[in-house]
Structure 1
Amino acid sequence: MPKSIQSVQPPLKFIPQRLNRIVLQISQWLLPFFLRFRTRPWLVAGIVEIEAKNAEVLAQLYQQFQSGKVRFLLAFRHPEVDDPLCMFYLLSRIVPKVAKEKGIALQYPVHSHFLYDRGMTLWAGDWLGWFFSRMGGLPIRRGRRLDRQAIQTARELFANSGIPIAVAPEGGNNGHSQIVSPLEPGVAQLGFWCVEDLLKAQRSETVFIVPVSVQYRFVNPPWAKLHRLLRKLEIDSGLSVQSSDQLSGDQPQEIDYQRLCRLAEYVISEMEEFYRRFYHQHLPDTPELEIIERLHRLMDTGLKVTEQYFNIQSQGNFIDRCRRLEEVGWSYIYREDIADIHALPPFKRGLADWIAEEADLRMRHMRLVESFVAVTASYIQEQATAERFAETLLIIFDMLSRIGDRQKMPARPRLGWRKAQITIGEPISVSDRYFKSQGDRQASRQAVSQLTKNLKTELDQLIE
């Protein structure tokens, strides 16, 4: 989460990938440390073990890739910010180890290019752009209808680079290990473009998309820490803290679930009143509605407040609307229409700063909505696990933190040591689908849509 913006900024420049083997090697050496102690404060609970299922599939694909027989894209689930580190561990440690055990000869490096959100460098700093560039990463502006430079570069790398490419088809992390958000069509489209580019170059490689699932589990369920976190959220929100004897239920999970629902209802009620009173939004007091219905209505209201300010229509699902608002907001802040910000006279500079600051404030409504796009009413009810409780509480923590401290986003509490499980799915042949889809433009669009649906099904089935 970037700090509050109070002045106009220069345009966001594209950061070209400059894969550097020295940076890559050093990162591989430091990877176990990064996994355990990714953020401050030090000595926090991180990831202590990473397991991979069907890693031999990837080892074989890398061998075929290096032999010039196939091209492939890794389409990985993106539930949270630790996923890239886990994918890096998979490729740099697990796949080479499995290949050695199975007698599969691989050349160094076993690595991949990857797409990342350009906005990450805004809250993390310019150093992250430098680092990702040297690791082979490409920034993409998610809200743009067509980020031509990023897409063209990704297309070129997919067809011609000496290593594959990895993309999160959900477009961002949704905070849920066991829910796959709607997929964006970019991954499928890249696959078809790659086949097309190979045919034009009279090359015979087969193109695959490889679904990869990433999930997390606690080594020991941290129920005591979850209880304390829930209590902290109650206090921070202004809700009175209830003791266990005031609630019904025999198990700690049942009691905590009741407290979680009570907290959610309270926060939603407060936000409804906030939008009624200060943004003049029509939100009828309807206590008969389910919590999830009220949440969705509230999310729609928050997006409308921002859309009305930027004068854009409400189109698509919550994720689509968030992406469009991000790009429009950035156009007010990172001004491509100003050649030199410092050459502006004070009057025009003041106006530009004013617009940038107000745009940043309006976008904060969208950021709140963005955190809740995958929240469902039944996620915890279906399985009252520590993992699902933790994911839901951390989403609420993020929301309260964004509102409570606009200048600095507090680090998430580390609840306990975790294991990551990565599952490699069956590679999906894009080449076969390409030849079947030849005809008119409508057939091609349908093929991209169908491949996206099939990929979503495969990722859903990989969840355990």
Structure 2
Amino acid sequence: MSEEIKSVQPPLKFIAPRFNRFFLQIVQWSLPILLRFRLRRWLPAKIIRVETENALELAKLYEQFQAGKVRFLMAFRHPEVDDPLSMLYLISRGVPKSARQHGIKLKEPVHSHFIYERGMTIWAGNWLGEFFSFLGGFPIRRGKRVDKTGLQTARELFLNSNIPISVAPEGATNGHSGKVSPLEPGVAQLGFWCVEDLQKANRSEEVFIVPITIQYSYPNPPWKKLDWLLSKLEAMSGLESAVDSSLKREEIYYQRILRLAEKILSEIEDFYQRFYHQTLVPIDLDSEAEANQIIIARLHRLQDIALRVSEQHFGLQPQGNFIDRCRRLEEAGWSYIYREDLPSLDTLTPLTRGLADWAATEAAKRLQHMRLVESFVAVTATYIKDKPTFERFAETTLLIYDMMSRLQDDTFPGRPNLGWRQSTVKVGTPISVTQYWQSYKQDRQSARKTVTELTQDLHKALQTMISNG
């Protein structure tokens, strides 16, 4: 269950973007292959096609961008690790095709910078940072209070680069194609900084944020493979098969997932009570609460306990929602592992090095409590019940698989492929940040309020787009 941290590590360095057009062309040429085959556990697979909707809107913005009339940022949904390839398809295939069909002439490259979370290079390998750098990407430390280098890079590129920027405002995947997690305020703030910087430079471009959604579906839902995966998870949990054949198929799978969740919750609750001396606070629910409501209430209680176990180790007080607490814990853990307060590790005495290794190893272990919580921050009582589609059954089952894999195998094997999927990428109506400027610029309180308002409007736009999909 460890993150395979056995010793203290040098500080995490910023990986500057070094965009290379030739490298981009190679990746674009390889895109059909990358969409279809899983090269390693953390790379996408089994996407038979990508469909784009309203790409003309983006083509028009690129035309205006290249004419020096607008600056824009693409804020895309981030349900799965496959999303960057879906975005690459939209920008490299969908936008140029739509531009040609409508007589819009675009200059090369039609591409974008993008921001990624610094932790990706930790679990995937240092090579990924170089790969992203050549494609124009750069990292942000999402748990750091102020990542000055990352933010300054984003601000400079937004203002002056010859290509726009793409950002996932949720900050991490949530495993749900049909539910948008709370958004980070940084996207809205970047928009306002760009307006401010343009005015200081006496430039008149209008600034936009473009909402983009990505949803995955199975053209031929592989119910048999889902049955196989659920059976495997039931066996791993010590459950015997118990299927009521009189129920409809969707109801059968729903009951199996509830039963599996109840079993897992019971065992992990006992684990934290016995080995971490945690107390289960009684759940305050109506006596007529349904089984799914009770399970979600227990899940939230368990998430709070797991985070507290980790927070106690790092001397943190619980603050904010589960996502906020996960971010703070990640940064606290990294401060124990990737030591910025030490000189070169090679110059440390054996005593200092041994203690530093010990602290790093324990920090990595404690972060695993947070990782369990992180996988389930978007799970709700009604996600499946509101829309009992194969996709929602599959998403929930795969999240359970991820958690079970973390508990039993240090190598955290990749997800099983349930079948061929389709990715649908939809471009929404651009939101003019410039139109919010008069409210933003009044004073600090107004600025914070306007950032919140724009963030909420972006969230509403994204949720509406996927709800109508």
Contact 2:34 2:44 (C-alpha < 8 Å) held by counterparts: no
Report whether the alignment pairs 1:256 with 2:253.
yes
Task: Choose the corresponding residue for 1:460, options 454, 459, 463.
Answer: 463
Following superposition, the deviation at residue 125 of structure 1 comes to: 0.7
Counterparts of 1:222-371 in structure 2, within 5 Å, are: 222-237=222-237, 239-244=238-243, 247=244, 249-283=246-280, 290-371=294-375
Match of residue 129 from structure 1: 129
1:174 equivalent to 2:177? Answer no
Which position in structure 2 is the counterpart of 1:414? Answer: 417
Supply the distance in 2 between the matched residues of 1:421 and 1:443 (Cα, whole angstroms). Answer: 37
Equivalent residue letter for 1:259: R
Give me the whole-angstrom Cα distance separating, in 2, the residues matched to 1:45 and 1:364: 26
Instruction: Answer whether contact 1:2 1:122 (CA < 8 A) is retained.
Output: no
User: Does the aligned pair in 1 maintain the 2:113–2:164 contact within 8 Å?
Assistant: yes
Distance, in Å, in 1 between the alignment partners of 2:12 and 2:44 is: 34
Instruction: Give, in whole Å, the separation in 2 of the partners of 1:315 and 1:416.
Output: 40
Q: Deviations over 1:286-335 (max 9, x none)?
A: 69770000000000000000011101110000000000000000000000
Match of 2:202 in 1: 202
Contact 2:306/2:373, CA 8 A, preserved across alignment: yes
Secondary structure in 1 matching 2:176: coil
Note the alpha carbon deviations across 1:1-52, whole angstroms, 9 max, x for none.
9842110000000000000011100000001100111334899961111111
SS in 2 for 1:290: helix
Q: Residues 62 and 43 of structure 1: is their aligned pair in 2 closer, same or farther, counting only changes over 3 Å?
A: closer
1:25 matched residue in structure 2: 25
Which residue of the partner structure matches residue 110 of structure 2? Answer: 110
| Closer, same or farther: CA 434–41 of 1 in aligned 2, 3 Å | closer
Q: Is the 8 A contact 1:75 1:211 kept in 2?
A: yes
Identical positions, percent: 61
SS of equivalent to 1:209: strand
**Number of residue equivalences:** 460
Give the Cα–Cα distance (whole angstroms) in 1 for the partners of residues 307 and 389 of structure 2. 31
The answer on whether the counterparts of 1:219 and 1:416 sit within 8 Å (CA) in structure 2 is no
Q: Which aligned pairs between 1:86-97 and structure 2 lie closer than 5 A? A: 86-97=86-97
Deviations 1:383-417 (A, max 9, x none): 111100110001000000001012x0101001110
Q: Distance in 2 between matches of 1:270 and 1:139?
A: 37
Q: Aligned-pair distance for 1:220?
A: 0.4
1:306, 1:43 → 2: CA distance? Answer: 29
Unmatched 5+ stretches in structure 1: none
Q: Where does 1:154-173 land on structure 2 (aligned, <5 Å)?
A: 154-173=154-173
Cα deviation code 1:30-85 (max 9, x no counterpart)? 01100111334899961111111111000000000000000000000000100000
Q: What amino acid does structure 1 have at the position aligned with 2:414?
A: A
Q: Which residue of 2 aligns with 1:100?
A: 100
Residues 1:325 and 1:3: Cα distance change in structure 2 (over 3 Å): closer
Counterpart amino acid of residue 265 in structure 1: E
Q: Per-residue CA shift, 1:333-371, capped at 9, x if unaligned?
A: 000011111111111111111000000000000000000
1:259: Cα distance to partner?
1.0
SS of aligned partner of 2:224: helix
Alpha-carbon distance, 1:269 to partner:
0.5
User: CA deviation digits over 1:241-284, x for unaligned, max 9?
Assistant: 2142xx36432221111111000000000000000000000015
**Contiguous gaps of at least 5 residues in structure 2:** 288-292
1:451 counterpart (434, 454, 463):
454
Deviations 1:403-437 (A, max 9, x none): 1012x010100111011111111100011111233
- Counterpart-to-counterpart distance in 2, 1:44 and 1:152: 31
Could you tell me whether the CA contact under 8 Å between 2:296 and 2:380 is conserved in 1? Answer: yes
Runs of 4+ in 1 over 3 A off after TM superposition: 38-45, 284-289
What's the counterpart of residue 35 of structure 2? 35
In 2, Cα distance between equivalents of 1:231 and 1:48: 26
Aligned equivalents of 2:171, 2:200: Cα separation in 1: 29
Shift of 1:438: 2.5
Structure 1 partner of 2:290: none
What TM-score results when the alignment is normalised by the length of structure 1? 0.97
Q: Does 1:374 align with 2:374?
A: no
* CA distance in 1: counterparts of 2:281 and 2:317, whole angstroms: 23
Contact 2:5 2:361 in 1 (8 A): yes
Q: 2:48, 2:339 → 1: CA distance?
A: 43
Quote the Cα distance in structure 2 between the aligned partners of 1:120 and 1:2: 16
Single out whichever of 281-290 and 149-158 deviates more from structure 2: 281-290
Partner SS state of residue 213, structure 2? strand
Kindly indicate whether the alpha-carbon contact (under 8 Å) linking 1:45 and 1:415 is maintained by their aligned counterparts in 2. Answer: no
Partner of 1:410: helix, strand, or coil?
coil
- Aligned partner letter, 2:455: T
RMSD (CA atoms): 1.7
**Preserved contact between residue 183 and residue 455 of structure 2 (Cα < 8 Å):** yes
